[in-house]
Amino acid sequence: MFFKILNIKFLIFFTIYLTFNSIASSNDDCKNSSFYVKNIKVDLTKESIIKARKLAEDKARNIGFKRLLNKLTLKNKKLSFKKSDILLLVDYLKINDEANSDKRYLADFDICFNRSLVIDYFHKNKLQYAETYRKPITILPIFIGPRGFILLDDNDVWYSKWKKKLAISDGLVKLVIAKKDLNLSRKIGPKIVSQPQTNLIKKIINKENSDALLIVVAEPILRNDGKTFLNVYAQIFDGNGKFVNTIYRNKLQLPSTTSIYNIDDNLFNLEVLNIIDTIDISWKKDNLIDPSIYNEIDLLIPISSMNSTVLELPLLFNDKIIKVKSTKGFLDKGIIEIEKELIFYGKKTLKSFRSLNRGLLKSTKNLEYKSNIKVTQKNIKIWPFILKTLQNLPFVKEVKVISISNLEGRVIVKFIGNKKTFFQAVSEKKISFKNFNNKQYILTF
């Protein structure tokens, strides 16, 4: 019996192991990685095309690494690094487009950096970093000027600056410009700022397949004393279209009264960058991994019932067949529960379970179960899903299964950083835990 119990445990954990490995292999595509830097443009002229190309590749790696630091780290302290150091951190360099003459070389590169080596570099240099992507936020730029309310107009400088910047943005928070939609545009008016329309905002979010909307407003103001200002603010709304908060507000004095008709493009550029930086910094702070902090957390994962039926005939202590009303929906082989007894079955028919191993995991085995008693099957599918999600969190070092009972499983997760970072990252995966007994956290989703 002990050997058979081990076989059942092995079956469960082998399934989990296979799931882990299949997931790991699907995550090898660097294009979906935080460590992939795209669209690095280089133009160099040297005494020969061979030298120009070599130096262009070196320059691309250097630019790519600086952009990687800017994307992942909160503060870029001055670091001295050699070309050879960066070369070791690169997995591959991809040329998207190139053109050349005898001495000039132009190219557009993508670079995939080796995650493990880069993280080791961060640890060595004591750099705090984040690498978890946030789900997209839709950006809706609105300009309220002396000529009225302007929305999604290519001739509007405020809109065009956002559109241009977001096309090349490569931060951890993906920002997408709201697409033009004549029907929606007709419904959007000045009230969307002063009196937000929940259903309309929700439609905009759903259309872009994002989970939030950021309304960014630029409004030149002429005061009674003759002074003029550019008032800029950004309001964020959640996936249900409800206002969350104002994440950015700034007021810049303009040089003259007539400036409200001709605002300097550089002011718009600066404000777009400031808002993007505010979002980026806030996200990185919430997901910051401090290499100097090692942590672990104790999690409980309930195992709920998936299918149920009832005994059609009484079940005795030594019976080798369980006759039930129906086995529809049950796995072809698996574990069922009758009262407190766990039973493995190797085969099923339309109305019976066969090839039984009774009393698994030292569960209580009654002498007799009367007809009409409930028979249930536990949903162990939750296990590989939760475990692979935890294991794929970038800062997690180990996911260790401590125990499995008929009601729940216990897992210890060891990771780098603080618990706030852990729970924020888990929440992004639509998984939530609540404090269970001050020492453990239990799955609630």
Total Cβ atoms within 10 A of residue 5: 17
Calpha distance 167→332 (Å, rounded)? 50
Q: Are both 79 and 153 inside the same structural domain?
A: no
pLDDT 10s digits, 61-114: 999 999 999 999 987 666 777 777 888 999 999 999 998 888 899 999 999 999
Whether residue 183 is found in the same domain as residue 272: yes
62 and 165 together in one domain? no
User: What pLDDT is stored for residue 232 in this prediction?
Assistant: 96
pLDDT value of residue 29: 47
C-beta neighbour count of 344 within 10 angstroms: 20
- Is position 340 within any domain? yes
**Residues 234-287: tens digit of each pLDDT:** 999 998 889 999 999 999 998 877 777 888 889 999 999 999 999 999 999 888
Q: Which of 120, 143, 164 is the last residue of a domain?
A: 120
Q: Looking up tokens 């009409």, which residue turns up?
A: 372
Quick one: pLDDT at residue 103?
87
**Are 222 and 143 in a shared domain?**
yes
CB 310 within 8 A of CB 325: yes
What's the confidence (pLDDT) of residue 406?
64
User: Rounded to a whole number, what is the distance in angstroms from the first to the last CA of the chain?
Assistant: 36
Are residue 168 and residue 222 in the same domain, yes or no? yes
Residue 11: inside a domain, yes or no? no
Nearest CA to 111 among 81, 80, 86? 86
* 144, 170: one domain: yes
Final residue before a domain boundary, out of 91, 120, 149: 120
Residues 265 and 318 in one domain: no
97 domain-assigned: yes
In degrees, rounded to 5, the angle at the alpha carbon of residue 333 between the alpha carbons of residues 328 and 339 is: 75
Structural domain contains residue 108: yes
In this prediction the pTM is 0.67
Strand-pairing partners, residue 294, are 416
One domain for residues 262 and 173: yes
196 shares its domain with 271: yes
Q: How many angstroms separate the CA atoms of 284 and 129, rounded?
A: 7
Taking the C-alpha atoms of residue 101 and residue 103, their distance in angstroms, rounded to an integer, is: 6
Could you give the CA distance from residue 409 to residue 423 in angstroms, rounded to a whole number? Answer: 19
In a domain, 113, yes or no: yes
C-alpha dihedral (344, 348, 353, 354), degrees to nearest 10: -80
Mean of pLDDT over the chain: 84
Residue 51: CB atoms within 10 A of its CB come to 14
* pLDDT the model gives residue 37: 93
Which regions in the chain score pLDDT beneath 70?
1-32, 76-78, 305, 379-380, 406, 445
The C-alpha angle 379, 382, 386, rounded to 5 degrees, equals 165
Domain that holds residue 368: 305-378
269 shares a domain with 190:
yes
CATH classification of the domain holding 103: 3.30.1660
- Report the C-alpha gap between 333 and 307 in whole angstroms: 13
Residue 7, pLDDT score? 38
> How many structural domains is the chain composed of?
3
The pLDDT, as a whole number, for residue 166 is: 92
Domain end point (choices 120, 155, 177): 120
Would you say residue 13 lies in a domain? no
Quick one: 204 and 271 in the same domain?
Answer: yes
3-state secondary structure of 292: coil
Whether 225 is in a domain gets the answer yes
CATH number of the domain bearing residue 211: 3.40.50
Q: Hey, what are 218's tokens?
A: 């630029």
Residue 416's DSSP bridge partners are 294
158 and 60 fall within a common domain: no
Classify residue 419: in a domain, yes or no: no
Predicted confidence at residue 216, as pLDDT, reads 96
